[in-house]
Each structure stands twice: as structure tokens, then as C-alpha cells.
Structure 1
Amino acid sequence: MNTRYDVAILGCGEAGIFAGYELMHRNPGLKVVALDQGADIYTRSCPIVAGKVKECIHCKVCGTMCGFGGAGAFSDGKYNFTTAFGGWLTDFMPQDEVMRLIDYVDSINMKHGATDKVFSTDTPEARALEKKALEHDLHLLQARCKHLGTENNLKILQSIYEECRKGVEFRFHTAVTKIENLNGEGYRLITEQGDEIDCTWLIAGPGRSGAEWFSNQCKDLGIQLINNQVDIGVRVELPAKVFEHITDVVYESKLVYRTKQYGDPVRTFCMNPYGHVVAESVEGINTVNGHSYSDPALQSENTNFALLVSNRFTQPFNEPYRYGKHIASLSNMLAGGVLVQRFGDLVSGIRTNEHRLSKSFVRPTLTAAVPGDLSLALPKRQLDDIIEMIYQLDKIAPGTANYDTLLYGAEVKFYSARLALSGELETSLHGFFAVGDGAGITRGLAQAGASGVKAAQVILGRLN
């Protein structure tokens, strides 16, 4: 079957959603289709979350990563008002334009139930915390932040979905296997079922789960790729009281440190006060993430956050995505899934086993994690960086380097090799735009949504 649309959106993550939202509202007459290999927001499910299994069973399509809302659907919904982190949109457009887009996406979220409460960093307490961090060569990246909450984030997305479906045709459980250039007549998407979907304009927001596939499609289409970074690290879990004096002041505390041993940047990422550690699957590879609920009844006694070492590659190496997947697969090989180790065992060169873990004062919130030895999975350089960072954090949050602090591995953030894009987020092929995390230009809800709006506005401007 062959059908023709004005605009096709590849991927229903944050970037794709807001691209579709903008198109349908600004030009209701447009024929727009959005495709995703996952399910809609109501039927997305993970067997682990549903309590059917205790560990990942490698579903053909990961319900946690794919479907309406993308990987952000089951996140704790941190929305950061900044260009200092969360993506690289300022490489393509002025900072004030990026901030206008971020505020605009937030206004849409608020129409659909998002909180108006903002955690501000422009307070005496936040400035004092920044000064204390600087005394130990830790740099606190300041940004206003909203915490939507894992449960509220889903409700917001459900409301947006109900509105979007009035003007956008959604095709779920539809995997696209190939993108074809129709040479001046637009583009053709060929699905796994053999259907052909033609469009004049194409917005590709494949998300992190589709990043490697999208890179290969771009190579076949002759679109230039620029090597991007891959972030490799662990998720730290410790008693919430250890970081309480920080998270009560700056909810999403981004602390950056450059290690003395190697000069590598290490940062905290995705801080989840009173949260839960969760497993996720990216193309059959088990990695780890974190959630945090706004409802006190759903909270834990622990705080978790990622420690990530950024690795940027140069020629001739051009497959950072495969490199990250390989490292994550090593921990899967050792543990059959997510691996967990006590910090004290790691620095002592001791493998954590079930007996040692049972003696820990910190109880793991991810009970399916298997005790083991991270030093057999992560490269020495990244592991040295992480250990050095933990000791540094202990200076401003005493207790971080406690023996029973838990480290889950591996946490890997995959980004597609970044495309060479114009200031309008257009590839070298006319009418073909790339947005979101899977295109290697964002890494968070705010900038991902902003990138989708930008691509939609460019198309609307040309149509007008």
C-alpha cells in the first residue's frame, strides 16, 4: 500500500510529538503522519514494571524506550530551562531563540497539566552551594528546573496525545526499515510490513533506541555524519539524607568535575531524590536508569543519580554508538542484566556477592540487579574517573564514598553520530530534518521538544 502525506514524522518521542503538535495547530489542513515501532501511550508496558518478570526478557520492541513519549515517557520528567546542558541546539541557533522554544514547549505542557512550580537556582542557598562546590573544584551548572514526576509525566503525555490525534495520523507498531530519497519529489518510508509512505517533508526523530539504525540510513543517503560523544558510567544509589542538603536546594544538581588523573570530564546526571533505580533495554542491551515520583507514597528512602564520563572520538574511529553498546553488553554478559556492586568492594578489588549485598545498609531499589564486579565490565580509565569523582563528591556530600554506596552498571547514554545540519536543523537533503536525542543534537526533554518545534516552524514558514 502506498499513501502520500505532506509531512511524515519518524518517531513519536518528545521531538516528534511537539513537531506534530505545532504542525496541526498552525496548519490544520496539512496531512501529517507520525510513525513509531512502539505502542501508544495507553498500551505501552514493560513486563518488569508490570510485575510479570523479574529481569529483562528482551522484547522485540522495548516498551520502556519505544512508543508515544519515547524514552522520556517513563522518566521522572525533569524539565530544565537552560542551554548549558541538555543538548547542543546553540550550535545551530542563537541562545535566546533556544530559550524561547524551551519556554514555548513548557507552555504547552502546562496546558496539559504540568506544574507551575519551578526550582530556582537564583537563591542565597543555591549560590552558597555553588561556592562550596567550587572550593573542591566541582562546578555546579545552574538552571531553573521543573519536576513533572514519573506518574504526572504520563498523564501530561496522555492529554497531549488526545489532542494530537485530532490532527495527526499515528501509526504505532510500525517499524520503518528504509528511507528513500525520491529526488525532488520528497521521501519514501518503507515499513517492516512492506507499506510505502511518501511525504514531501520528513522530520526524523528516531530517539536513542533508533540512533544506530538512523546513522546507517543517513550513510546510505549520503548525508554527512560527524562523530558524536558517548557517555559511559554507573548509577549511584545512596541514602537520600546524604544529598538532602543539595537536592532540597537544587533539585536537578548538575555537578561537573575534570579528573586529575586523566583530565576527563565527569558529571552527575538525572538526579532522583527519594527515587528508584530501573532497568531499560536499548536494542537488546540492558542498561540502567532512574525514576523519581512526586507522590510521597511512591518515594523510596534513597537518592540515585548517574555518574557519566564523556568520551568524544576522532578519526578514523566513527562508531561511538557501537562502542557504548559493547561496554554495556559486557555487564549483561557477566550478570545476565544489570550489575550492582558496593563502592567499598569495588575499591578493595572484591566482587560483591549476594551475601555481602545482604549485609549492606543501603537496600537496592532495583532488586533484579545481580551482584558482581564492575571492574570486569567497565574500562579502567572510566572506572578510575568514576572513583575519583565519588571521592570528590564526598567532600561536599559526606557519605557519598561510604562502603555501602551502591553502583549499578552499566549506564550508557547513546547518541547518534551527529549529522551535519543547517541552522534550521535541515540535512543536506532538501526538506529532510533531524531532531531530538537520536539525531545527536539533544539529550533531554526540554531541548528535544524545542528541536521538534523548530523543524515544524521552518516547514510552516516555507509553506506560507
Structure 2
Amino acid sequence: MTKYDIVIIGAGPAGLFSALKLSNNPKLKILLIDKGKKIKSRKCSQNSKTGCVKCQPCNLICGWGGSGAFSDGKLNFTHKIGGWLGEYLTPKDYDNLIKDSENLWLKFGAPKKVYGQNKKEVQKIIKKAKKADLEIITFPIRHMGSDGGREILENMYKYLKDKIKIKLNTQVKDIIVRNKKISGVVLDNGKKVYAQNVVIAPGRAGSDWLLTLAAKYKLEPQCNPVDLGVRVEIPSKIYTSIAKYLYELKVHYKTKTFRDNARTFCVCPRGEVTMEQLTGQFPVTTVNGQSLARIKTKNTNFAILVSTKFTFPFKDPIFYAKSIAKLANLLSGGVMVQRLKDLVLGQRSTKERIKRNLLKPSFRSANPGDLAFVLPYRYLKDILETLQALDRIIPGIWCNDTLLYGVEIKLYSSRIKVKNSLETKVKNLYVAGDGAGLTRGLVHASVSGLVVARSILKKIK
């Protein structure tokens, strides 16, 4: 009978950083499982002639490194953003863990260059933003790039492969609970793997699977806000003056009509728009973005996301967000793109209009359409108001040729109830990362992994 001290489900930042810290104890028998492939085997055809082949599981979001492996690779070292870990950690402890995370990223090759350090120029941008009722969140950023990030993740693989057992291309179907205590996991082939501790770090791709477990084992998921919006593409030259000092422009905006919370997310200077396949019981295609450290485009893209926190009796924010994404899929066959002018005029974009557009789309597989048939009016209104406000600090965003891709959703919408140690009500069962609804982003997911590892090590001692 195979038995481990710890089984970690998910090889994204949360799972990897748990493994990195736990592996410092050579006496521990650790198994790391992920349903995806090795980092070097994760190939995506969406920008090739063949286009997206809808591989299962999606290579963009599953496998070694998680969805972060194909993200823009931004490391945001701050507790001002990044989810809800602040509800479980003291400010001092949180800052110390962020520093520990930063040191580990640097150890495996993260760049030394830090953006956001020119305080004089940053303050000028903040002052300008205030006049437009925009709040800019500033913090130190290290930019790996999608390609640089994959090299760092490969370095982590090389380091861990001789210290722990790694099982890729393997899906966990269920967990084993006996007398309210974790005993192991069940693989998709029916094989049981026993363990004293289990860490579930499924990433955004596995968030709906975790919700299924939460319902079965009464883990008491709590609704987080739904984050829903579009990816905006603009000429990179109009963003240059900002990118020079703030690689990631994090803007929060209270919309005028509905007083909703809108924000910019994942700015990709001189990057490209991408798409990803969200698997699970209700698979959908969504939009994302990335920047490469070595290859640059003439475009910059970013998301505008609107957060909505629903109340009783609503219990399924993930299905809500996926349902809207499904509308875009049905109407466009995948990802939809629309010119800002067409959206404002109430007309769909066509292939001819996109072809004549001064700004050429970086994602060629997107099909022209009308986002007004996809997004609820409230979200559309919020997005348009946010674009108009952003135009006051980045002139040229509110332009006929600006491209909007739909839809973008972030599935950290249901948070599992946990103790400060991130242990669930099932003894020795822990959750971590974005998929558990605790974090947003690479650094904070990795911090949650460190919290879990620390909690387990304390118990073992």
C-alpha cells in the first residue's frame, strides 16, 4: 500500500511553493500530482495555422506551473492586492511571507529589475488619476514574461524532481475522509493513494472540481465576488509613458451609474491576447493576455473586470460567470472581438470592419461580433465608463479602433472556509491558491502555499 506524509494536488504556484518548503525536510515522503503535462510539453496551437484544438486538459492552464506558466509573468510583491490572505495573517506575518516568496522566486531565476521604484514619476501619475476618480495601487513588480516564467518553473522542476515524487498527467477524482480526517486521495483510474496530509491547490482550472468536493464533504464554501469583463487591446505607443514607471497599472474605479467596483487586471505591454479552455463539468473558452520577455508586439492589452458580490439565495458564482462566457462561445465559436466604435454605435463588428481597423488584433482566431448580446447591460455600462475614465490618464484608449475581446472571467469566486492555518474542517486537509478562492495572482498563491507548508511542519514537529 502506497502511503505518503503529504499529497499535494496541483502544480501551480500554491502547490509548488508548498512542495519547495516541505521538501527541506528530507524525512518527509511527498507526492505532487497534476492533471497536466511537464512545462516543456505544454504547447498551445491557438496562434498557429491550425488554431486552438481544444486539448483536454488545456495546456494553457493545466500542468507544471499552472495557468501562471502562460500568464504575463508579473510578480506583485504587496499585500494591497491579491485576494483575502490578510484575513488569516497578521500584517507583519503577511509581509514576511511575501518576502520569503520573493526570495524563492529570485533563487530560481526571477529578474532583478524592479518596476515602480521611481516615486517622483509615479506620484505624477497618481495625481493625474485622482482627477479622473481613479485609484492607482502601486507596489514593486518583477516581470518575468511568459517565456522567462517558464524557465523559472523548469528550474523548480529540476530542483524538486529528486526530492519528491512527481506524478503528472494524472487526475485526482476524489479524496478519502475517515472520521472527519483526511486519509488520502482517489485517482481517476480508481487507484487510492494514502496520506496523512493532503493539500488541494487546484488552480482556477480546478475551482469547480473543488466546489464539488466542498459540497460532498461539507467544507462550507463562501461566495466571493464574481469577476467578469473584457480584454482591451490598444496601440502600445499610447501606454509607453506609463509602462516606463508602472509596468502593471492597477486601477480601481467606482463606476458612475451603478457604483460598481471595476479594476484593470494583467496589463501586458507589447504583448498579445490569448485564449484558454476552462475545463470541468461546464467547459468554456475565455480570453486572457501575455507578454514575452524577448518577443514584443506593437499592441498592449489589459483586462477590465467588474466585481459583483451576490447575496442569498445565489450560491454559484462560477456557473454564472461561465454561463456568460458560454454565450460568447455560442455567438462567436470561441472568443469574440469588437471595435469600441461598433459597440458604442450598437452594431456588431464584421470581418471587413476589423480588416480596415487601424489597430490589428494580436489574436487572429477571434471572431467579430457584438458584446451587447453577451454581457448584461450593467457590466457593459461599467466597462464603458471605466474606459472613458482611463482615457483621461492614457489618452487614446477611448478610440474608435480600440478592440474589446470577450469574455474574461476569473474563477476564484467561491472561498473554502478555513482556519488561519488554511486547514479545512476536515482534519489535515488544506487548501491553497486561486482555485480555493483565497488568492489572486502568482505571488499570493505562492504565499498561501508557504502558509500551508508551515502549518504542516508545525504539526509534524
TM-score bin (small chain): over 0.9
CA contact (8 A) 2:184 2:197 kept: no
Equivalent residue, structure 1, for 2:13: 14
Given candidates 65, 70, 74, the residue that maps to 1:78 is 74
Shift of 1:397: 1.0
Equivalent residue, structure 2, for 1:399: 396
Shift in CA distance, 181/219, structure 1 to aligned 2, threshold 3 Å = same
Matched, 1:414 2:438: no
In structure 1, C-alpha distance between the alignment counterparts of 2:92 and 2:127, rounded to whole Å: 27
Shift in CA distance, 175/453, structure 1 to aligned 2, threshold 3 Å = same
In structure 2, C-alpha distance between the alignment counterparts of 1:349 and 1:184, rounded to whole Å: 56
CA contact (8 A) 2:46 2:365 kept: no
Matched, 1:440 2:437: yes
In structure 2, C-alpha distance between the alignment counterparts of 1:184 and 1:347, rounded to whole Å: 55
In structure 2, C-alpha distance between the alignment counterparts of 1:170 and 1:416, rounded to whole Å: 29
In structure 2, C-alpha distance between the alignment counterparts of 1:425 and 1:135, rounded to whole Å: 41
Equivalent residue, structure 1, for 2:456: 459
In structure 1, C-alpha distance between the alignment counterparts of 2:182 and 2:104, rounded to whole Å: 30
Q: How does 1:84-95 map to 2 (within 5 A)?
A: 84-95=80-91
SS of residue matched to 2:198: strand
Give the AA of the match of 2:35: Q
Q: Structure 1: any 5+ residue segments left out of the alignment?
A: none
CA contact (8 A) 2:181 2:427 kept: no
In structure 2, C-alpha distance between the alignment counterparts of 1:311 and 1:340, rounded to whole Å: 24
Q: How does 1:251-266 map to 2 (within 5 A)?
A: 251-266=247-262
Equivalent residue, structure 2, for 1:32: 30
In structure 2, C-alpha distance between the alignment counterparts of 1:187 and 1:92, rounded to whole Å: 25
Given candidates 154, 159, 162, the residue that maps to 1:163 is 159
Matched, 1:178 2:174: yes
1:429-451: per-residue Cα shift (whole Å, max 9, x none)? 11111100000010100000000
CA contact (8 A) 1:289 1:411 kept: yes
Equivalent residue, structure 1, for 2:243: 247
Q: How does 1:218-229 map to 2 (within 5 A)?
A: 218-229=214-225
CA contact (8 A) 1:208 1:416 kept: no
Given candidates 347, 354, 358, the residue that maps to 2:355 is 358
In structure 2, C-alpha distance between the alignment counterparts of 1:321 and 1:95, rounded to whole Å: 30
Shift of 1:31: 0.5
Shift of 1:224: 1.2
Matched, 1:338 2:335: yes
In structure 2, C-alpha distance between the alignment counterparts of 1:152 and 1:60, rounded to whole Å: 25
Shift of 1:20: 0.6
Q: TM-score, normalised by structure 2?
A: 0.97
Shift in CA distance, 408/184, structure 1 to aligned 2, threshold 3 Å = closer
Shift of 1:102: 1.6
Give the AA of the match of 1:288: V
Matched, 1:325 2:327: no
Q: TM-score, normalised by structure 1?
A: 0.97
Shift of 1:271: 0.5
In structure 1, C-alpha distance between the alignment counterparts of 2:153 and 2:64, rounded to whole Å: 8
Equivalent residue, structure 2, for 1:274: 270
Give the AA of the match of 2:379: Q
In structure 1, C-alpha distance between the alignment counterparts of 2:345 and 2:177, rounded to whole Å: 56
Matched, 1:43 2:27: no
Aligned length in residues: 458
Given candidates 209, 212, 218, the residue that maps to 1:216 is 212
Equivalent residue, structure 2, for 1:300: 297
Matched, 1:194 2:197: no
Shift of 1:183: 2.2
1:241-300: per-residue Cα shift (whole Å, max 9, x none)? 2122111111111011101100001111001111111111111311111111222xx100
CA contact (8 A) 2:339 2:402 kept: yes
SS of residue matched to 2:8: strand
CA contact (8 A) 2:228 2:305 kept: yes
Q: Structure 2: any 5+ residue segments left out of the alignment?
A: none
Cα RMSD (Å) of the superposition? 1.2
In structure 1, C-alpha distance between the alignment counterparts of 2:342 and 2:154, rounded to whole Å: 44
CA contact (8 A) 2:233 2:300 kept: yes
Given candidates 148, 161, 186, the residue that maps to 1:152 is 148
